[in-house]
Amino acid sequence: MAERTVRIGSAHGLHARPAKLFTQAAAGSGASVTISKAGGKAVNAASILGVISLGINHGDEVTLAVDGDNADVVLEELSELLLTDHDE
């Protein structure tokens, strides 16, 4: 299992549009991926409702955990999505 903590780059946090991009990428990765906000419970990163329910705002730190084939590659791709400001 690979893990990484990243800071959210989208100016308005992980709301509908960036959450959709992220959850689609997580679902399409073929790996088991979870996301958690600092001190919170981990949710399935492929679930848009689960991700939005975390209330992740700009600058919040989240931890991604990836289990499966190419976990490091998947972790890198998903981290880049979270670091990018999709609100520009």
pLDDT single digits (tens) 54-75: 999 999 999 999 998 899 999 9
Is 12 within the bounds of a domain? yes
Is 25 within the bounds of a domain? yes
Mean pLDDT within 11-26: 94
Is 88 within the bounds of a domain? no
3-state secondary structure (DSSP) of residue 86: coil
Residue 80 has which token pair? Answer: 């880049």
Is 31 within the bounds of a domain? yes
Report the pLDDT value the prediction gives residue 63, as an integer from 0 to 100. 97
Active site residue 86: no
Range of the domain at 74: 2-83
Angle at 75 between CA 69 and CA 77, to 5 degrees: 110
CATH number at residue 17: 3.30.1340.10
Q: How many domains does the chain have?
A: 1
- Contact partners, residue 47, CB within 8 Å, separation at least 6: 23
